[in-house]
Amino acid sequence: MTKPESEWTWKEIPVGNVILEPGNASVYRTGDWKSFKPILNKELCIHCGLCYIFCPDMAYNLDAEGYFISDLYYCKGCGICSKECPTRAITMVVEEE
C-alpha cells in the first residue's frame, strides 16, 4: 500500500513522479466529511439503482440480496440518493459522533 506523502524521501520518488498503483486514493476515507448519513428502508426499495447511478462518490454497492447499500467509508452525505429515490426509501439521518 502506498505510504502517505510525508513519509517519502527524495530517493523513493519514481521517475517523473508517476503513480504506479491505479486507484490507490481509495484508501482515503471521505466518509469522515458527512454530517448526515443515508438509511435505506428495504421495504420501500424497488432495486432501481438510481441511488447508485447518481452517487458522485461511488459509495453505493450491490449486496448479495440485490440492494444497493451505501458504503459509509466513502459516503460524504450529500443526500442526492435520498432526494432522487423514486419511492423515498432513503432518509438522511444525523451522523452520530
Partner 1 sequence: MAKRVGMEVSIAAAEAVKQANVDVISAYPITPQTHIVEHLSEIVANGEMDAEFFCVESEHSAMSICIGSEATGARSFTCTSAQGLALMAEMTYIASGLRLPILMIVANRTLSAPLSIWNDHSDAMMIRDCGWVQYFVENGQEVYDHVFISYRLGEDRNVLFPVIINMDGFVLSHVIEPIELIEQEKIDQFLPPYQPLYQLHPDQPITMGAFALPAIFAETKKAQEMALRASMGKILEVWKAFGDMTGRYYQPVETYRAEDAETLLLTMGSIGETASVAVDQMREEGRSVGLVKIRLWRPFPFEALKQATLHAKNLVVIDRAVSVGGPGGPVASEVKAAIYGEPIRPSVYNFAAGISGRDVTPFDFIKMVDKAEIEIEEGNKEGFEIYGVRE
Partner 2 sequence: MIENLNVFAVRTLTQKEYFAPGHRSCQGCAEALAVRLVCKALGRNIIIASATGCMEIVSSPFPFTSWKVPWFHCAFENTAAVASGIEVGLKVLMRKGRIPQKKIVTVGLAGDGGTADIGLQALSGALERGHDFIYVCTDNEAYMNTGIQRSSSTPFGASTTTSPAGKTKMGQITWKKNMAAIAAAHNIPYVATACPSYPMDLIQKVKKAADIKGAAYIHILSVCPTGWRSAPDLSIKLGRLAVETGTFPLYEVEHGKYHLNIDFPKLKPIKEYIKLQGRFRHLTEEMIEEIQTRITHDYEQLKERDKRGF
Specify the length of the chain in residues.
97
Number of residues counted as binding partner 1 (CB under 8 A): 16
Q: Is 15 in the site for partner 1 (CB under 8 A)?
A: yes
- CA-CA-CA-CA dihedral for 37, 90, 61, 26, to nearest 10: -20
Other CB atoms within 10 Å distance of the CB of residue 75: 23
- Cell numbers of 92, please? 438522511
Q: Which of residues 21-60 bind partner 1 (CB under 8 A)?
A: 22
Choice from 37, 40, 74, 89 touching partner 2 (CB under 8 A) = 74
Q: Candidates 12-20, 56-64, 73-81, 85-93 — which segment interacts with partner 1 by CB under 8 A?
A: 12-20
- The binding site for partner 1 (CB under 8 A) comprises 5-6, 8-20, 22
